[in-house]
């Protein structure tokens, strides 16, 4: 009986294996493969293939290769005369550097199974900025910053109360953005520079750290204030860096460095 059962199981496993291999082969045969070429200033930066089942990571361009006053938005398969920076659809015409590129992003842009993605570098002033009363970046890496999402939520609630008490309108408060940034110092600061809309950084290290390790320009830090609180039983010192000079930025920085705010991060 045991021999019969063993033989039956072996037969079932062999049939299953054939079915899996056949299915994989069938799926493979259904794939539509595109060669994706990334070009900057007429030179190929990178290339890869994309299918319905295979994505690729877009390359990034070092800030040193981007002229002052300009911004690298990402990669586009559209021609420049098809791109309108002032249009609400502008953000759909490109994919940022260091992002995952999918089949759906390139389908329809191919020629002879090849898709050319050009670096999209534009004058910063060519793209209208969405209005925000203030944009706060916080370092969403708890082991380094000592800050958690729940604490940030509490902070935002109390900040709202503070701003209302100082006469800031509900309309302005509704536009406030509190955005978490992950990764190491270089990655997080790089993304902040790429976003180009942050007013205040909360939770990073010293000014020297974000300049030397993060790659930020020293002149972009208008004010840096250290804050200390208890994290896992030990004192942790972090910083609030102000990047803009608006009345909103000044008012919010004043509260972020207050004892009332710092108390939120004690744990």
Distance CA 150, CA 173 (A): 20
DSSP string across 227-258? EEEEETTEEEEEEEEE----HHHHHHHHHHTS
- Cβ distance 257 to 225 under 8 Å? yes
Q: What pLDDT is stored for residue 5 in this prediction? A: 52
**Buried/exposed 71-87: b ≥16 CB within 10 Å, e otherwise:** bbbbbbbeeeeebebee
Rg (alpha carbons) of the chain, rounded to whole number = 25
Positive or negative, the Cα torsion across 182, 183, 186, 191? negative
Q: What pLDDT is stored for residue 102 in this prediction? A: 94
Intervals of the chain under pLDDT 50: 8, 11, 13, 18-27
Q: In the chain, where are the structural domains located?
A: 34-126, 135-264
Nearest to 119 by CA among 159, 80, 148, 85: 80
Architecture of domain 135-264: 3-Layer(aba) Sandwich (3.40)
DSSP string across 140-156? --HHHH---HHHHHHHH
> Distances in Å between the alpha carbon of 9 and those of 32, 85, 267?
37, 63, 57
Q: What pLDDT is stored for residue 26 in this prediction? A: 46
Q: What pLDDT is stored for residue 30 in this prediction? A: 63
**Running DSSP on this structure, what letter comes out for residue 198?**
-
């Amino acid at each position: 009986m045991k021999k019969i059962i063993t033989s039956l199981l072996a037969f079932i496993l062999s049939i299953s294996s054939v079915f899996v291999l056949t299915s994989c082969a069938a799926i493979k045969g259904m794939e539509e493969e595109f060669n994706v070429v990334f070009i900057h200033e007429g030179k190929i930066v990178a290339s890869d293939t994309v299918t319905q089942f295979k994505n690729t990571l877009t390359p990034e361009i070092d800030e040193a290769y981007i002229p002052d006053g300009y911004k690298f938005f990402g990669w586009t398969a559209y021609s420049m005369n098809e791109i309108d920076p002032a249009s609400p659809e502008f953000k759909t015409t490109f994919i940022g550097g260091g992002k995952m590129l999918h089949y759906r992003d390139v389908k329809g842009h191919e020629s002879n199974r090849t898709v050319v993605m050009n670096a999209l570098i534009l004058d910063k002033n060519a793209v209208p900025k969405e209005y925000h009363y203030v944009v706060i970046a916080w370092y969403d890496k708890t082991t380094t910053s000592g800050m958690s999402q729940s604490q940030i939520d509490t902070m935002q609630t109390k900040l709202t109360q503070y701003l209302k008490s100082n006469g800031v309108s509900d309309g302005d408060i509704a536009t406030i953005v509190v955005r978490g940034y992950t990764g190491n110092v270089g990655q997080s600061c790089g993304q902040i520079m790429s976003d180009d809309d942050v007013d205040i950084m909360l939770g990073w290290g010293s000014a020297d750290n974000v300049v030397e390790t993060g790659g930020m320009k020293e002149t972009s830090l208008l004010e840096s204030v250290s804050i200390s609180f208890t994290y896992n039983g030990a004192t942790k010192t972090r910083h609030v860096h102000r990047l803009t000079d608006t009345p909103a930025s000044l008012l919010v920085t004043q509260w972020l460095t207050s004892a009332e705010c710092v108390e939120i991060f004690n744990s």
